[in-house]
Amino acid sequence: MPELPTLEIYKKYFDETSLHQTINHVQVVSPEVLVGTSSEEIKKTLLGHEFIQSRRYGKYLFAQMDNDLFLIMHFGMTGFLYYGSVDGSRYPRLLIEFSTGKFLSFDDARKFGKLGLTRHPDEFIKEKKLGPDALEINFKSFKEVFKNRKGMIKPLLLNQHVLAG
Give the tens place of pLDDT for each residue, 14-29: 999 999 999 999 999 9
Residue 98 confidence (pLDDT): 98
> 161 vs 126, which has greater pLDDT?
126
- Mean pLDDT, the chain, rounded, equals 93
Give 1's pLDDT tier (boundaries 50, 70, 90): low
pLDDT at 58 (0 to 100): 95
Q: What is the pLDDT of residues 56-78, one digit of tens each?
A: 999 999 999 999 999 999 999 99
Give the model's pLDDT for residue 84.
96
- pLDDT at 3 (0 to 100): 83
Residue 156 vs residues 49, 131, 160: alpha-carbon distances, Å: 40, 11, 8
Q: What is the DSSP string of 3-30?
A: -HHHHHHHHHHHHHHHBT--EEEEEES-
**CB-side exposure of 160: number of CA atoms within 13 Å?**
15
List the chain domain ranges: 4-128, 130-165
Q: What fold is seen in the domain 4-128? A: N-terminal domain of MutM-like DNA repair proteins (3.20.190)
pLDDT in tens, 119-146: 999 999 999 999 988 888 888 888 887 7
What is the Cα–Cα distance from 165 to 72, expressed in whole angstroms?
15
Q: Is the pTM of this model over 0.75?
A: yes
